[in-house]
Amino acid sequence: MSFPESSFSDVLSANEKFAENFAFSGLTGQARRGLAVVTCMDSRIDPLGALGMKPGDAKIIRNAGARVTDDVLRTLVLAGYLLGVERVLVMPHTQCRMAGTTEAEIHATLASEFGVDSRSLEFLTVSDQRAALARDVQRIRSHPLAPSGMVVGGGVYHVETGVLEPVDA
């Protein structure tokens, strides 16, 4: 199957302009500021901008709800040993679709509105975002393969104001 160019024409055009003045060719795969951020895929979040960083400074790991999954742990282990990550910030956000809802509600919505039976997936919804954040932070801290000395913290990013609120975990 050929690439669906017409569906991505805006993206390809923007990339051409971006590549004309590409300024990041000298970067390595290392996180210059020693940071990894686990955050949500929500398009309202600019993790580098929100933290005063730029490309090359941090590793950004995104998924629905900013949850620490097995894949996130795998990625953090690699980043900690091979890519210069010494600290991790878990950063869920306000107004997240995965918070304040249930797995059953998400499955029901997908079934009723789109005719999709999604019961084979676990979406990792949370009823208490701060409690889930604390569990996720602890999950990284206690992982047997996490590099010794890796510092892990959590905070809720407020999409309404851009403020990162540190949360004890």
* CATH code at position 35: 3.40.1050.10
Q: Give the pLDDT confidence score for residue 129 in this predicted structure.
A: 96
Query: Is 81 domain-assigned?
Result: yes
Q: Give the pLDDT confidence score for residue 34 in this predicted structure.
A: 98
Query: Is 53 domain-assigned?
Result: yes
Q: Give the pLDDT confidence score for residue 98 in this predicted structure.
A: 96
Query: Is 3 domain-assigned?
Result: no
Helix, strand, coil content of the chain in percent (nearest 5)? 35, 20, 45
> Which tokens is 53 given?
């960083």
The per-residue pLDDT for range 59-116, each reduced to its tens digit, is 999 999 999 999 999 999 999 999 999 999 999 999 999 998 999 999 999 999 999 9
Query: Is 52 domain-assigned?
Result: yes
Q: What is the mean pLDDT of residues 113-138?
A: 97
Query: Is 22 domain-assigned?
Result: no
Model-level pTM? 0.95
Query: Is 84 domain-assigned?
Result: yes
Q: Give the pLDDT confidence score for residue 156 in this predicted structure.
A: 98
3-state secondary structure 47-73: HHHHCCCCCCCEEEEEECCCCCCHHHH
**Mean pLDDT over the full length of the chain:** 97
User: Which residue would you say has higher pLDDT here, 169 or 44?
Assistant: 44
Separation of CA 57 from chain center: 15
Query: Is 11 domain-assigned?
Result: no
Q: What is the mean pLDDT of residues 143-150?
A: 97
Query: Is 23 domain-assigned?
Result: no
Q: What is the tally of structural domains in the chain? A: 1
Question: What is the domain extent for residue 135?
Answer: 28-167
Q: Give the pLDDT confidence score for residue 19 in this predicted structure.
A: 97
Per the document, the length of the chain is 169
- Tokens 């795998």 locate to 74
